[in-house]
Amino acid sequence: MSLKDIHYLDLVEVARRIRAGALSPVALTQAMLERIEKTQGTLKSYATVTADLAMQQARQAEAEIGRGAWRGPLHGVPIAVKDLCYTKGIPTAAGMPIHASFRPDHDATVVQRFADAGAVLLGKLQLTEGAFADHHPSIAPPVNPWHQDHWSGASSSGSGVATAAGLCFASLGSDTGGSIRFPSAANGVTGLKPTWGRVSRYGVFALAESLDHIGPMTRSAADAAAVLGVIAGADANDPTARQEPVPNYLAGLERPIRGVRIGVDRSLNTTGVDKTMIGVVDDALAVLSGLGAEIRDVTFPSPDEAVKVWLPLCAVETAVAHEATFPKQADQYGPGVRGLIELGRGLSGFDLTKIQLVREAFRGRVAAFFQDVDLLLIPAQYTASPTTATMATLGQDENALSMLLRFTAPFDMTGSPTITLPGGFTDKGLPVAFQLVSRHMEEDLLLRAGHAFQLATDWHKRRPPV
């Protein structure tokens, strides 16, 4: 394979070739930068390209690996991060023109851990304003590489587009109501939302801190395992980061999933869900059953109340996160985030207490549910590959917004880990995905099940025509 074709390889394969001396980090990084330059005008996935830093890191990686000082599976591999992760001396705008000139004086923990692992940072990926639903009116949204008229996801849209289009070998996204999972599904990549606190949020712009999750967006479950193993773990700078040791996620991938109990709530998975999505979920179920998983019909706790209170909870936490600039600079905000913050500032302590009680009750029910199953299989969203025109009108229909959040926001409310896996295509050739959900801190099981599914299928290996 020539360098002009290598951008679509899995990260773990690129890492293997780099370690073996068959692939030069310097030449690879240069090729990736040239590809970004060629496609940026069309796909608009990057907010900032860090070409000089990338070449410096690539040269250092090449020298280290050449003398046998290999740091691990990200060493010399070009990656990118969502532009809400602080990068020292590099613009970090969080999709907000109000922060366009902000250059942090330190790295986010996840960025530092990438650097410590020897990864090559190609740049910062575009996102919706403040990581909420809409891109700021002055910013051109990233374009779905499968079809320009279809949604690229929110808010980690740039991460999904860049990973799918071969503009990095892995990226980071964030998820507060579905923003790793929506763009992963829309762009046909594998997205892992870890347990809340499994990955440090230090140095990451907040949307709603008790709901925010940072996680990998990659082209395979194995790649996600490699990235999670680097970024996860305790952090003295983040008191909410989980203290449990980080396992070698890659090492456990090959274990079979025979006997793993997968719960399926057929009513939840089909009510209001389009037939393409239902078909993808059913096909995934058949594959996992064929791999030896034990399929159990279950009734999942109703997510309706949790979905209903997600928006006001997100709103009040967003208002807190933006206290320094809102309302003083409210005129510089786009209408979506401005409306969200105004909603949050109008809530009372009485309102917030009722929300928290709903959340705690739902968390308890979900914890009890996972006593009887190991995984839950659900759609990624209620409709397969919506158009951007459809999504632009979503806020006008309260029921449609609730349906969109139905399979994502509940697991931000509980902090449960999920993996989003490509599972099929629409008649128009757009990717469709499903999710697996597990108990807290069982990312290893999610990754193992995802890897088993991907060994048995090739949906994740299909690439957009870019």
**Other CB atoms within 10 Å distance of the CB of residue 408:** 28
Of 439, 421, 409, 436, nearest to 213 (Cα)?
409
Does 152 qualify as catalytic in the annotation? no
- Identify the active-site residue in 45, 171, 174, 179: 179
- Identify the active-site residue in 82, 156, 159, 416: 82
Query: Helix crossing, 221-231 with 109-116: angle to 10°?
Result: 100
Does 193 qualify as catalytic in the annotation? no
For the record, the structure tokens of 12 come out as 């773990």
- How many Cα atoms within 13 Å fall on the side-chain side of residue 130? 28
Residues 14 and 75: beta-carbon distance below 8 Å: no
Q: How far apart (Å, rounded) are the C-alpha atoms in residues 64 and 58?
A: 10
DSSP assignments along 376-425, one per residue: EEEESSSSSS-BHHHHHTGGG-HHHHHHHHTTTHHHHHHT--EEEEEEEE
Sequence-ordered alpha helix ranges (H) in 205-303? 221-231, 266-270, 275-290
**Other CB atoms within 10 Å distance of the CB of residue 292:** 12
Cα→Cα distances 453→110, 289, 292, Å: 28, 10, 11
At residue 11's C-alpha, the angle toward residues 197 and 91, to 5°, is 60
Q: How far apart (Å, rounded) are the C-alpha atoms in residues 290 and 454?
A: 13
- Identify the active-site residue in 24, 45, 152, 155: 155
Does 179 qualify as catalytic in the annotation? yes
Residues annotated as catalytic (active site), given as ranges: 82, 155, 179
